[in-house]
Amino acid sequence: MAKSSELSIVGGLAAAIGASACCAGPLVLLLLGISGTWISHLTLMGPYRSLFIFVVVVLFGFAGWKIYQPVENCQDVEACAAPKVRTRRKAVFWFTTMLALVLITSNYWIIWVV
């Protein structure tokens, strides 16, 4: 359980970064003082945004399914049977889910930041 849910969370977060690359990426780079004409090339990922969002939803859905599975499905020696580990994984899952949501929705709220 640990590896599959961890990989799903990392993959989902990477896909969320890819989905926000067209909108939040240039703004973050400009706020950091990095500029150049190459920044306009980040908007080329815009057409693939819906694909990235689909990947985020699928990977986070799988990770949530693995994290919230009943304890009875875990063997005693597995980490998912320990209450502290389950609580920590749930906290990491929800933190990264909220971060991914902020990144995915960046093209809707980014206009108010600028």
Pick 54 or 4 by higher pLDDT: 54
pLDDT in tens, 53-107: 888 899 899 888 888 888 777 776 677 777 888 888 889 999 999 988 888 887 7
Listing DSSP states for 78-90 in one string gives SGGGSHHHHHHHH
User: Would the pTM of this model clear 0.75, i.e. be above it?
Assistant: no
Residue 16 contacts residue 104 (beta carbons within 8 Å): yes
CA count, 13 A, side-chain hemisphere, 33: 0
CA count, 13 A, side-chain hemisphere, 37: 0
